[in-house]
Chains A and B, each alone.
Chain A
C-alpha cells in the first residue's frame, strides 16, 4: 500500500513566520510535487522535484521554496507566511516517466493569521 504522509493535517501560523510542510513517501518514486488547492481554482502546482536535490518551479512558486535532500522527503517552505497563503496543501508522487497514477497525501490545511 502506497503511503504519502504529510507531517500535519492542520496548522495555524502567524503572518511573517517561517513555515515548513513535510512530505514523506515510502514508494521510492522519483517525482514529488507540492500543490495548493483553493475552491474553484483546483490544484495549482507550486514546485516539483524529479530527483534528489533537483527542483523545478511550478505555476505559482512565488513566496515558496522547497528542499529535497533525500529521495523520500520533499519539504515546502514558506519563508515569511502571509494570509494569502492560507490554503490546503497537497503533496503528490509519481513514478519516473509518464506514469498512470499520482498518489496523494491527505493534505495540510494551513491557516495564516
Chain B
C-alpha cells in the first residue's frame, strides 16, 4: 500500500529557515499536503500542491516537489515560536475511493528563541 515517511523531529532557532522533508511511494498521488497540528488541537491544512507542479509559494511557506524521487519538502522562512507544532505530510490520489488521505508519521518542530 501507500507509504509516507517523515523524520520525527526538527529543532530550529527563531528567525532561521526550517525545512521539513517527506518521501512517499504512491506514484499515482494527485495531491500532496502539509498539515499543522498545534498542541491540543486537530490538524489544519497549511498548503497543498498538485502533482504536476514543482513548486508552490505561499507567504513564508515554500513547497518543493520532486516527482521523480517522490520527495516533498516544506520550507518555512523566518521561523517563529508560533511555528512550533507537529507537521504532517499527506497524499491522496484520484484512484483512492472517498478521497482517502495517507499521512506520514509527523515531524515535531521545536523553535528555540
Give A residues with C-beta under 8 Å from B: 4, 30-31, 33, 35, 40-45, 48-50, 56, 58-59, 90, 92, 94-102, 104-107
Contact = CB atoms under 8 A, between A and B. Distances in A.
B100 A58 contact: yes
A92 B97 CA distance: 15
Interface residues of B, number: 31
Contact of B93 (A50, A98, A102, A106): A98
A18 B4 CA distance: 32
Chain A CB within 10 Å — which of B44, B93, B99, B101 has the most?
Answer: B99
A97 B99 contact: yes
A-B interface, 7 closest residue pairs, ranked by CB to CB distance from nearest: A50-B98, A104-B42, A42-B105, A43-B103, A104-B43, A42-B103, A31-B98
Nearest to B48: A100
A35 B103 CA distance: 10
Interface of B: 1, 4, 6, 8, 30-31, 33, 35, 40-45, 48, 88, 90, 92-94, 96-106
Nearest to A40: B105
B42 A42 contact: no
A56 B97 contact: yes
A98 B35 CA distance: 17
A90 B42 contact: yes
Contacts of A41: 105
Contacts of B99: 31, 50, 94-99
Contacts of B42: 4, 90, 104-107
A98 B92 contact: yes
Given A50-B97, A96-B99, A102-B101, A42 B44 contact: no
